[in-house]
Structure 1
Amino acid sequence: MPREYYWKDQQESSAIGKNKVSEVYLSKAGFEHDGVANTKFHGGPDRAVCLYPFEHYSLWEKEFMQRLEYPGFGENITTTGMKEDKVFIGDVFALGEAVIEVTQGRVPCSTISKHNGIDRLLKRIVETGYTGYFFRVLEEGRITSDAEIKFLHRVQNKYSVLKGNQLLFHDKGNKVEIEEMLQLEALSTEWKDRFKKLLCTV
């Protein structure tokens, strides 16, 4: 749940700090007892579950020569073998009893840098597109800490999370592909709004 942090002598409320639990219920609104501080940018049905790939931890630790505590990015789950270039918008997975669907890449904020004590971390996450990503919940259910995440099916294989991040952060003038992204049924409302705004500037 949200709590108060002191970063650079400033007090801020955030729910980035997660605690491990042995079992939890996942509803379409998100994990029970898992809150958000800023509902404008976090939470909601399209962002009910946040995943961050485990492989990125060693990358950032090597680059910044600093040990990172898990989970360091406010994620609900951390996995291997599911980096942003391997997972596509609309991919569906089973997680314990629940079924979840990829909706968007995470749009990172400065809280990540503050929480980990690395000023340049946010900039590097945006540059690389290693943001992690969100799911909506298609079927609710209980999840245990030893539950596996299993791939169920894929609806398209062109727009991975990494490809979406590239369009959103770096290839903003690519009208054709942005219009194609907007046709993806699984795309979150937030990303649809962001891409529509980009089209207005092209």
Structure 2
Amino acid sequence: MPRTMVDESGIDQLDAQWISGIYKDTVQGPVRLTVTGPEGDGQADLVYHGGLHQAVLLYAASHYPAWREELGRPDLVFGDFGENLTVEGLTEADVCIGDRYELGETLLEVSQPRQPCWKLSRRNGVAGLAQEVVRKGLGGWYVRVLREGNVEAGQELIRLARPYPDWTILRANDIIYGREADPVTRAALAACPAISPRWKEALSGNPD
């Protein structure tokens, strides 16, 4: 659930009072994934986080060694990037918008890349971390929960469908941030039936 963090001195901007659901704890045993996210989890900012199209955030386990070295933070552990599920064997280069996966009892559909906000920097006490994640395109990805059910650590994430192979998460990041600037390509991604409404608006030039 969301936590309130505060440094009573208020001197360091990274430590001023803030409320966030980015803190995640490792869970043993089954967890139920609902259409709005894992039971027992929560978002503090429901305008930009959560909802049907951002129900569960996945992040690649393989990114952690590089981040530990780059940031000089050997203490980084799974969950420190705010993800609900840390996954092995997949990165933003391997996952596409619209991919459908079975995990435990659930059916998941990839809806959009994650656009990290300032809270990622605050969470880890590293100024500029969110911007660096954006630059690298390694923010993770959100899924919808099409079928609710229980999941637990160690279960295999099985891909069942890939209807839109052109739109990897990495490429979608390049498009939204202007690194791939062709307007025809941008419009084509916006027209992808599986893209989230928020991203469709942003790609169409009408961000909310």
Whether TM-score is above 0.5 comes out as yes
Letter in 1 for 2:24: K
For 1:184, what is the secondary structure of its paired residue? coil
Identity %: 35
C-alpha distance in 2 between matches for 1:70 and 1:157: 28
Specify every segment of 5 or more residues in structure 1 that has no aligned partner in the other structure, as ranges: none
Residue number in structure 1 paired with 2:23: 17
Assess if the C-alpha contact under 8 Å between 2:96 and 2:164 holds in 1.
Answer: yes
Distance 1:146 1:172 in 2: 36
| 1:31 partner amino acid | P
Does residue 39 in structure 1 map to residue 54 in structure 2? no
**1:133-144 alignment to 2 at 5 Å?**
133-144=141-152
- The letter for the 2-side match of 1:50 is L
Residue matched to 1:27 = 34
Counterpart-to-counterpart distance in 2, 1:38 and 1:172: 30
* Whole-angstrom distance in 1 between the partners of 2:45 and 2:32: 22
Given the superposition, is the C-alpha separation of residues 56 and 140 from structure 1 closer, same or farther in structure 2, using an over 3 Å criterion? same
Give the TM-score taking structure 2 as reference length: 0.91
Q: Is 2:158 aligned against 1:150?
A: yes
1:172 and 1:198 in contact (8 A); partners too: no
Aligned to 1:2: 2
Alignment equivalent of 1:132, drawn from 137, 140, 145: 140
Q: How does 1:70-89 map to 2 (within 5 A)?
A: 70-89=78-97
Does the 8 Å CA contact 2:61/2:78 hold for their aligned counterparts? no
The alpha-carbon deviation at position 80 of structure 1 amounts to: 1.6
> Structure 2 unaligned runs (5+)?
none
Per-residue CA deviation, residues 10-64 of structure 1 (Å, 9 max, x unaligned), is: 1100011112222111111111111100001100000011001111111111112
Which moved further from structure 2: 57-66 or 166-175?
A: 166-175
Query: What amino acid is the match of 2:5?
Result: Y
Q: CA deviation at 1:70?
A: 2.5
Q: In the alignment, is residue 56 of structure 1 matched against residue 63 of structure 2?
A: yes
